[in-house]
């Protein structure tokens, strides 16, 4: 069993009410091999919501209290991101999932890139909050870009 980002499964849960449909993910869910989760919704957000970025570091820094997740209006939403990450971890453990496929570039789900925290559309190397927590717990996290065809 694998866990996948809900937006990759075609659910309109992204901050702007859209999805990032990935046909391979849809196939995995239809075949009962994957379960969809959205860490941001699990953390208490609703759709749509203000876009957010990690300011001052990456997801690992957020876990250590050295960085924050801030929305476009300057509101610190770190606690909601942390809550969603820990709830996602619970689900992954309960399902005994061996792989998690999360949406690249997200402040929650990015696995190799996130936005730079200045809301200027610039990406940088780094992991989102949920990815950092899962990896810290020894769980393999990849992005949709790394899925085998």
63-82: pLDDT as tens digits = 999 999 999 999 999 999 99
Helix and strand element counts for the chain (H, E): 5, 8
CB 90 within 8 A of CB 68: no
pTM, two decimal places: 0.97
pLDDT band at 147 (very low <50, low <70, confident <90, very high): confident
Mean pLDDT value across the chain? 97
Three-state secondary-structure class, residue 107: coil
Q: Nearest 5°: phi and psi at 41? A: -70, -40
Looking at residue 16, its pLDDT comes to 97
Give the pLDDT mean for 25-47: 97
Contacts of 36 (CB under 8 A, 6+ apart): 3, 4, 5, 6, 8, 9, 11, 25, 29
pLDDT tens track for 51-68: 999 999 999 999 999 999
- Distance between CA atoms of residues 90 and 51, nearest Å: 25
121: enclosing H helix or E strand = none
Spell out the residues 6+ positions from residue 89 whose beta carbon is closer than 8 angstroms to its own. 130, 133, 134, 137, 139
Q: In the predicted model, is pLDDT for residue 27 greater than 80?
A: yes
pLDDT tens digits, one per residue of 119-136: 999 999 999 999 999 999
Whether 148 has a pLDDT exceeding 80, the answer reads no
């Amino acid at each position: 069993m694998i866990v996948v980002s809900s937006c990759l499964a075609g659910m309109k849960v992204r901050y702007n009410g859209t999805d990032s449909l990935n046909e391979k993910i849809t196939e995995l869910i239809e075949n009962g091999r994957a379960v969809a989760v959205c860490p941001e919704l699990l953390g208490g957000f609703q759709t749509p919501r203000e876009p957010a970025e990690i300011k001052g570091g990456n997801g690992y820094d957020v876990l250590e209290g050295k960085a924050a997740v801030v929305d476009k209006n300057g509101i610190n939403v770190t606690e909601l991101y942390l809550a969603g990450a820990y709830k996602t971890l619970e689900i992954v453990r309960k399902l005994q999932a061996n792989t998690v496929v999360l949406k690249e570039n997200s402040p929650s789900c990015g696995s190799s890139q996130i936005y730079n925290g200045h809301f200027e559309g610039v990406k940088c190397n780094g992991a989102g909050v949920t990815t950092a927590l899962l990896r810290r717990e020894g769980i393999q996290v990849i992005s949709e870009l790394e899925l085998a065809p």
